[in-house]
Structure 1
Amino acid sequence: MPQFGPPGQAAADGGCGDGCACGAADAHGEYELDPLECGLDPDLASLIVADGLDPVQVEDIAHLAIEEDLDQGVDVTTVATVPEDALSTGDFTAREAGVVAGLRIAEAVLSVVCTDEFEVERHVADGDRVEAGQVLLTVRTRTRDLLTAERSALNLLCRLSGIATATRHWVDAIEGTRAQVRDTRKTTPGLRALEKYAVRCGGGVNHRMSLSDAALVKDNHVVAAGGVAQAFKLVREEFPDVPIEVEVDTLHQVREVLEAGADLVLLDNFTPAETAEAVAIVGGRAFLESSGRLTLANARAYAETGVNFLAVGALTHSSPILDIGLDLRAEA
Structure 2
Amino acid sequence: MDQHFLQQVEADVRRALEEDVGSGDLTAALVPAGRTAHATIVCREDAVICGRPWVMETLRQAAPGATVHWHVDEGGRCRANGLVAEVSGSARALLTAERTCLNFLQTLSAVATSTARHVQAVAGTPARILDTRKTIPGLRVAQKYAVRCGGGHNHRMGLHDAILIKENHISAAGGLAAAYAAALQYAERASFIQVEVETLAQLEEALGAGVTMVLLDNMPLEQIRLAVGMAAGRCSLEISGGVSLERLPELAATGVDRISVGALIKDIRAIDLSMRFDGA
CA shift, 1:113, in A, is 0.6
Which letter does structure 2 place at the counterpart of 1:259?
G
> 2:27 is matched with which residue?
77
Which ranges of 4 or more aligned residues in structure 1 deviate by more than 3 Å?
Answer: none
Q: 2:70 aligns with which of 122, 133, 151?
A: 122
Instruction: Work out whether 1:59 is the aligned partner of 2:7.
Output: no
Aligned residues: 278
- Percent identity reads 40
How far the C-alpha of 1:318 sits from its partner, in A, is 1.6
The residue type equivalent to 1:317 in the other structure is K
Q: Which residue of 2 aligns with 1:253?
A: 202
Q: CA RMSD in A?
A: 1.3
Which residue matches 2:102?
A: 154
For 2:120, the equivalent position in structure 1 comes to 172
Question: Which of residues 239, 250, 254 is equivalent to 2:186?
Answer: 239
- Equivalent residue, structure 2, for 1:287: 236
Offset at 1:226? 1.7
Measure the CA separation in 2 of the matches of 1:58 and 1:217. Answer: 31
What aligned pairs does 1:205-220 form with structure 2 within 5 A after superposition?
205-220=153-168
Query: What amino acid maps onto 1:74 in structure 2?
Result: G
TM-superposition CA deviations, 1:108-131 (whole Å, max 9, x none): 10110114x121111111111111
Aligned partners of 1:230 and 1:110: how far apart in 2? 52
Secondary structure class of the residue paired with 2:95: helix
- Residue 201 (1) aligns with residue 152 (2): no
CA distance in 1 between counterparts of 2:67 and 2:149 reads 25
CA distance in structure 1 between the aligned counterparts of 2:91 and 2:170, rounded to whole angstroms: 58
Report whether the alignment pairs 1:187 with 2:138: no
Work out whether 1:320 is the aligned partner of 2:255: no
Instruction: Give me the whole-angstrom Cα distance separating, in 2, the residues matched to 1:328 and 1:103.
Output: 19
**Structure 1 residue aligned with 2:90:** 142
Structure 2 Cα separation of the partners of residues 125 and 229 of structure 1: 48
- 1:167 maps to a residue whose letter is T
In 2, Cα distance between equivalents of 1:96 and 1:125:
16
Number of the residue aligned with 1:225: 173
Q: How does 1:90-129 map to 2 (within 5 A)?
A: 90-115=39-64, 117-129=65-77
Q: Distance in 2 between matches of 1:328 and 1:263?
A: 55
Q: How does 1:260-275 map to 2 (within 5 A)?
A: 260-275=209-224
1:240, CA displacement in angstroms?
3.0
Q: Deviations over 1:77-127 (max 9, x none)?
A: 1212x1111111111110111111102211110110114x12111111111
Shift of residue 295, structure 1, vs aligned partner: 0.7
For normalisation by structure 1, the TM-score amounts to 0.81
Structure 1 residue runs without a partner (length 5+): 1-23, 25-30, 34-52
CA distance in 2, matches of 1:207, 1:107: 27
Q: What's the CA shift for 1:214?
A: 0.9
For the Cα contact (< 8 Å) 2:122–2:248, is it kept in 1? yes
Deviation digits for residues 152-192 of structure 1, max 9, x if unmatched? 11111100000001111111111111101100111112211
Separation of aligned partners in 1, 2:233 and 2:274 = 47
